[in-house]
Chains A and B, each alone.
Chain A
């Protein structure tokens, strides 16, 4: 019985300080069959990335405590997290920011207002290789 219901749910860590967005994304990701772990600041995000070992990280840039770029740098430096794909999901869209994120190892850079939830889910699936 247990064996039958056991399905591995991919874990997605969402590092974002807006709790409303955390909630919206929680609903969407659960609907798509993922487990969402939420972090409301950069420091908590880094800690959860190391302990929970998510399959994917969605990262905002403007974050309390530790800035998104610092989080990204740290993630890519740490052996146990450096292979996890990171999608930067932010409202900053200066070319310098995009270049920096890609240089630091982000897989994709998405500007929130330019995408619908559906399109973002498609990008997540692509990053997870589905």
Chain B
């Protein structure tokens, strides 16, 4: 990315150095070749990469706007500025230097002046990066504080409803029970969101704890399926697990891996419309355990596939008929699998279904 931003920044500078030097010497050939070489290289890159993407990268104002900081605090802008200053100072020192070639003191002073300027610019850039890092840290901290603060009132609600629903404080009519169920379900959703936000904040601050423990994936899946049975039955979906016999245990964090399985199974069941099938496969592949979950659901549109593991992203076709969901599940799943030493991926076709898979090393 930086190369693409930096390269065009160099072009005008080199071109300018040519016109400045013409008065004193003939244009050094090497500069000419450098210019031609980098230009042809640039054309090659342009051919290889989507040109619109490059133009987007070059639009420094838009890039800086993304960070929501002033131009003087934006690393991209400062980087370009540094490029121009470096080239400018080199050219100026060169022009002055060739007049005083016999005077080492002046040459030394020029080099010193150059170094000071570069040092100052580098310092400003470092500061701007620091500011960005600080903003990121504060954002994570904010998520952390808010999530913790939300948990107390949620607990109060949850337990108060539990008492009311138990019927000990008075008989509950059937219609009231329906409303209590809605309350309970929504509190559950908020709890999940808060917990997902906390996990995301930990992933981003690299403080997500992973505890190593021996686990059998098959047991973990079956355990979850048993818990989710009422929900799966209500969805009228057939869920199957085909596991290879005598699979070895893996060494990973059971709580986090369960979270990954929950997210993948939950997605598969959620996005199957009407009566459908969800098939899971568990097998050994070399030194890894391979897990696959295939659904006959709505699938992911081609243009959305590259964003599917990004946080808060939700595919367009899903938003049309299913508004629930935070878009955090797959982001969390990927982070956990990667941190556990595995790989995660998917294949999908819109209106046909998706297959998500992950691998986890048997020994890690």
Please determine whether B160 and A24 come into contact, CB atoms closer than 8 angstroms: yes
Inter-chain contacts of B151 with A (CB < 8 A)? 91, 112-113
Please determine whether B156 and A18 come into contact, CB atoms closer than 8 angstroms: yes
Contact of A117 among B148, B154, B162, B198 (CB under 8 A): B162
Mostly, the B contact residues are helix
Please determine whether A95 and B160 come into contact, CB atoms closer than 8 angstroms: no
Please determine whether A113 and B154 come into contact, CB atoms closer than 8 angstroms: yes
Number of interface residues of A (CB under 8 A): 17
A31 at the interface (CB under 8 A from B): yes
Please determine whether B155 and A113 come into contact, CB atoms closer than 8 angstroms: yes
Inter-chain contacts of A24 with B (CB < 8 A)? 156, 159-160, 163
Give the A-B pair count, Cβ closer than 8 A: 41
* B128-157 near A? 1/0 per residue, CB < 8 Å: 000000000000000000001001101110
Please determine whether B209 and A95 come into contact, CB atoms closer than 8 angstroms: yes
What is the minimal beta-carbon distance from B339 to any residue of chain A, in angstroms? 14
Known: A21-B156, A112-B155, A117-B163. 20 other contacts (CB 8 A): A20-B156, A21-B159, A24-B156, A24-B160, A24-B163, A31-B168, A91-B148, A91-B151, A91-B152, A93-B198, A94-B209, A95-B211, A113-B154, A113-B155, A113-B191, A113-B194, A116-B158, A116-B159, A116-B162, A117-B162
27 A-B pairs within 8 Å (CB atoms) are namely A18-B152, A20-B156, A20-B160, A21-B155, A24-B156, A24-B159, A27-B163, A31-B168, A91-B148, A91-B152, A91-B155, A92-B148, A94-B207, A94-B209, A95-B211, A112-B152, A112-B155, A113-B151, A113-B154, A113-B158, A113-B194, A113-B195, A116-B158, A116-B162, A117-B159, A117-B162, A118-B162
Which residues of B does A touch, CB under 8 Å? 148, 151-152, 154-156, 158-160, 162-163, 168, 191, 194-195, 198, 207, 209, 211
